[in-house]
Chains A and B, each alone.
Chain A
């Protein structure tokens, strides 16, 4: 095939910014809250165990500080979970898939369908309770080039996976 090198007007290219990002299922926010809370409860249990079995005395002020720190971190984490949920979003276009995340360090990753290696649907125990699925999409790029889209309701992830696999197959020619 001859290589064609026509000049391209950049303004006519499809722009990612013009499409609306779809946010994740609201149930996923609950799952995230639950995950964060469970983590902090475990932490509290470990701290209490240390307190209980410790053979040295812990001053009351230090105890108060640890409890305060635990509370502060819990609140901050819950806030972060909420903000993260607001930002997380994905977009499906004709030829590629986009995922955005990150409260502080924001990143938007795009994988064209003709570069997808394989896709997987996963579901953890909590997610199953809330009827959520997680879609994982792998490209041949190294770390950080794979997409994980959590919080897809019902069997949406299965549908998406089939759609993507079909698209990926079609582009191979």
Chain B
């Protein structure tokens, strides 16, 4: 390699092409944030639209030019023996240090401007939260390659890293052939399709129907008696037909979606991790290495429970921007498959190691108050002027009360020296399992109500998502927090 490592030690700027790239980004951002102005002038067409547009355009160009120049000339980076040091900012100064052994992926991206000038953007991902990534917006190919080689080289020589090689490129290290855990048959596929969440579709339908009735109201005030009745009857028929049609349509749509996405799904387990392949026309493959899996979750709904299936989520460590993509979703898992995955994540899983606890029943009152009483009273008082029927909104309160009781009854969490296992849900069931050494931080939260009642909510953050245990006695929460911190600080196991 032609690169001289000592040259990295000096502070460097990005390639000047970065100015263009930042400029383009800022410009788009400014234009996007000006949308209320466009909306305003769309409503008020008599105003001087072109004049305002020109003003916004000139302003955006000027602002983004100045911004990109400042951003370019104040951004410096240099590579040290074990870390990358960056500083930037004119008024708000930022100094950032990224140790090489925290860097998970190094990737190059190019947009059209990059391609024209033959440069790349270098992204360093540290599997942390959004603040911990670093993008060097423009570098020549040669320089970017040299930096990547240098970082990988330094990583490999660092004594702390044993599996540094797998980090360089995920595609290089596919999970090997292994045991077939799950293969979805056509009946399985139908079960999954039927038990999809149709509630969302119902929500869309309701919004549609409400919109229609609003329109009807407006017409009603203008038309004559006869026409009114005809209209009511007509629209009722239309609405009923539409409802049925929409519902049937939604049902088949989600069925079709299921078949397209999960056709021929198979879950492979091997020494390296898990691999899922699925799809009818476009076959997708996703994999998760064992050590990257942070926590496991599985959920069902009443229909899924009838079929005895659950959806399993393998939550992997990834940067904030990738968080959703990095979760492996396995629909249609039966109990044996869930247990197989659970046992490999939580080695020697034994129910007897766990001690079970319940949450405080006071949670019922809070749910009823915030989700039941408050919205019911608001809707009731808004509509009370119009009609006495508004009192029907109050029926919402006992419904919420019943659901809240179910929620309380189903909430269970069990603690073992190695981790936590919890189950919860309203109508369906959700379960999650987490090992202590995967925990990144612990937060104890208290609302004013919880402070009065000596309760607390405990939150465990992991690189794959958070786990929250609400409404537990304060003393127990503190004890648990200290215990988990102790477990994390003692552990020698690598969380990834």
Residues of chain A having any CB pair with chain B under 8 Å? 1, 3, 5, 8, 10, 13-17, 95-96, 104-115, 117-125, 136, 138-147, 165, 169, 172-173
With A8-B417, A138-B131, A143-B129 as contacts: A16 and B92 at CB distance below 8 Å: no
Residues on the A chain within 8 Å of B130, using CB? 143
- CB pair B482–A14 under 8 Å, yes or no, is yes
- CB pair A108–B443 under 8 Å, yes or no, is yes
Interface digits, B83-111 against A, CB 8 Å rule (1 contact, 0 not)?
00000000111111111011000000000
Task: Out of A1, A138, A139, name the residue touching B492 (CB < 8 Å).
Answer: A1
- CB pair B91–A124 under 8 Å, yes or no, is yes
- CB pair B129–A16 under 8 Å, yes or no, is no
With A13-B483, A123-B93, A141-B461 as contacts: A109 and B132 at CB distance below 8 Å: no
- CB pair B489–A114 under 8 Å, yes or no, is yes
Residues on the B chain within 8 Å of A110, using CB? 441-443, 481, 485
Task: Out of B96, B448, B485, name the residue touching A118 (CB < 8 Å).
Answer: B96
- CB pair A106–B483 under 8 Å, yes or no, is no
- 22 A-B pairs with C-beta separation under 8 A: A1-B492, A8-B483, A13-B483, A15-B482, A16-B482, A96-B485, A105-B446, A110-B443, A111-B441, A115-B441, A118-B132, A119-B97, A124-B91, A139-B129, A140-B128, A140-B463, A141-B440, A141-B441, A141-B461, A141-B463, A142-B320, A144-B443
Grouping DSSP codes into helix (H, G, I), strand (E, B) and loop, the B interface class, with mixed when no group exceeds half, is mixed
Q: Smallest CB-CB separation from A172: which chain B residue?
A: B160
Residues of chain B having any CB pair with chain A under 8 Å? 91-99, 101-102, 126-132, 160, 317, 320, 323, 347-348, 417-418, 439-448, 451, 459, 461-463, 465-466, 478-479, 481-483, 485-486, 488-489, 492, 495-496
User: How far apart are A85's CB and chain B's nearest CB, in angstroms?
Assistant: 19
Q: Smallest CB-CB separation from B488: which chain A residue?
A: A112
- CB pair B447–A105 under 8 Å, yes or no, is yes
Residues on the B chain within 8 Å of A141, using CB? 129, 440-441, 461-463, 466
- CB pair A121–B95 under 8 Å, yes or no, is yes
User: How far apart are A107's CB and chain B's nearest CB, in angstroms?
Assistant: 4
Residues on the A chain within 8 Å of B451, using CB? 106
**A167 CA / B80 CA spacing, docked (Å):** 19
**A14 CA / B98 CA spacing, docked (Å):** 31
Residues on the B chain within 8 Å of A140, using CB? 126-129, 317, 440, 462-463, 495-496
Grouping DSSP codes into helix (H, G, I), strand (E, B) and loop, the A interface class, with mixed when no group exceeds half, is mixed
Residues on the B chain within 8 Å of A120, using CB? 94-97, 131
With A13-B483, A106-B451, A118-B96 as contacts: A138 and B132 at CB distance below 8 Å: yes
The 4 closest A-B pairs by CB, nearest first: A141-B461, A145-B461, A141-B440, A140-B463
With A104-B447, A141-B462, A173-B492 as contacts: A117 and B102 at CB distance below 8 Å: yes
- CB pair B126–A117 under 8 Å, yes or no, is yes
**A67 CA / B96 CA spacing, docked (Å):** 44
Residues on the A chain within 8 Å of B95, using CB? 120-122
With A106-B446, A141-B466 as contacts: A146 and B99 at CB distance below 8 Å: no
**A111 CA / B462 CA spacing, docked (Å):** 11
With A8-B417, A108-B443, A139-B440 as contacts: A16 and B478 at CB distance below 8 Å: yes
**A104 CA / B449 CA spacing, docked (Å):** 9
With A115-B441, A118-B128, A173-B492 as contacts: A17 and B96 at CB distance below 8 Å: no
- CB pair A139–B461 under 8 Å, yes or no, is yes
With A112-B489, A124-B92 as contacts: A10 and B442 at CB distance below 8 Å: no
